[in-house]
Amino acid sequence: MARNGDYHVKVGFPSDVKLPRGHITFLPQSHTQARQDELGILSLPSGVNLNWSCCKMFEISVEDNEVWKFGIRIPRGKGKKDLCLIVSWPGGRIITLWLNSSDDDHKTLNTKRYINPKVKGKGKRFNPEKFMKQAMRKSTRR
């Protein structure tokens, strides 16, 4: 069972937590519109398919082995900054949003803020890309 707290893809997601998948319809809040105006974003997507090809999940918050909040990054096209959203789950309420450079790979990420899930096996390191591919395969089988 995963410990309650925050996980980042660069540190590792717990393997026993079911990640949000399928289509999610966003529920913007008044804060969302204010942030859109502040950032000059004319429109937000009404939703997104969490199939890992159109967006990347970079952060999850877990309580009682369930994801209750997640962060996704949505590319907006060449020469534009990516749209980053923190979304409550289930429900799809947008908690906050910001723009981030598409080539930002978070070299300054404070990994101490996140839980490092235990990985079974001797000397194995968590591979986030492999985990995301496995999660995608599992979600398409259902």
Cα first-last separation, the chain: 22
pLDDT at 64 over 70: yes
Q: What pTM value is reported for the model?
A: 0.76
Residue 59: the pLDDT is: 95
Residue 122: the pLDDT is: 38
Task: Label residue 2 exposed, middle or buried (CB < 10 Å: 0-12, 13-18, 19+).
Answer: buried
pLDDT tens for 75-92 read 887 778 888 999 999 888
pLDDT tens for 123-138 read 345 556 666 666 666 5
CB 114 within 8 A of CB 103: no
In the chain, the percentage of residues whose pLDDT exceeds 90 is 20
Query: Can you give the residue ranges of every domain in the chain?
Result: 5-141
